[in-house]
Structures are given as structure tokens and as C-alpha cells.
Amino acid sequence: MIPAFGLVLGVVLGLVLEPTVPAALQPYLPIAVVAALDAVFGAVRAQLEGIFDDRVFVVSFVSNVLVAALVVFLGDQLGVGGQLSTGVVVVLGIRIFSNAAAIRRRLFHA
């Protein structure tokens, strides 16, 4: 429950504070969000399978975000930032879908 509260708190904070994204972070924020979503879906799947580990989640969350941002940063430096961010989003999207499928099988046995 507490993680769910944390999520709600973050959303509310974002709605209330209405911050603007710093220009330097603009290319990385959407990728970081997608990477974090991937970590969250993986965590939910692990929880349902009973192998959830808080420590693993924290590390995977942070590393996912950092690696995604790093890949996009490298891509920008190499001049293929657009293509690489598309690639990152595709890979993370595939992982999110497979995790969501596993969660679905666990929850609905279908």
C-alpha cells in the first residue's frame, strides 16, 4: 500500500507544483519515465510470483533510469539520439508488454 501511496503522492505533487522540465533534461525525462515503468511492471510481476525483493527493485529502478538516460545521451553525442531513443522505447515497451502478460497470467490465470 505504501508504494501505491507514494505513486499517488508523486502524481499529486506534479499536478500541484506544475514544474517545468529543465531544457537539459528534456530529451531524457520521457525515456527515464518509460524505463521506470518497465522496472515497476517487473516489480509487480516479481511480487505476484513471490520473488519480489525491495533491494532488487530499488537497484533495477535506478539502474534502468540511468542506463536509459545514458544510452540516449550517448546517442545524442553520436548524432543518432533520435534513433537510439526510439530503440530504447521499443525494447522497454517489449519488456513492459511481456511483464504485463505474465502479470495477467498470474492474476487471471489466462
CB of 34 to other proteins, least distance (A): 9
Are the beta carbons of 99 and 42 closer than 8 angstroms?
yes
Q: What is the DSSP letter of 22?
A: P
Alpha carbon dihedral 70, 90, 52, 63, in 10-degree steps, equals: 0
Question: 24, 50, 77, 108: which one contacts other proteins (CB under 8 A)?
Answer: 50
Give the span between the Cα atoms of 42 and 58, in whole angstroms.
12
Which 3 state secondary structure label does DSSP give 21? coil
Does residue 19 belong to the site contacting other proteins (CB under 8 A)? yes
Give the one residue of 57, 71, 95, 96 binding other proteins; rule: CB under 8 A: 57
With binding defined as CB under 8 A, does residue 96 bind other proteins?
no
Interface with other proteins by CB under 8 A: which residues?
Answer: 1-11, 13-15, 18-21, 26-27, 29-30, 32-33, 36-37, 40, 43-44, 47-50, 53-55, 57-58, 61-62, 76, 79, 81-82, 85, 106-107
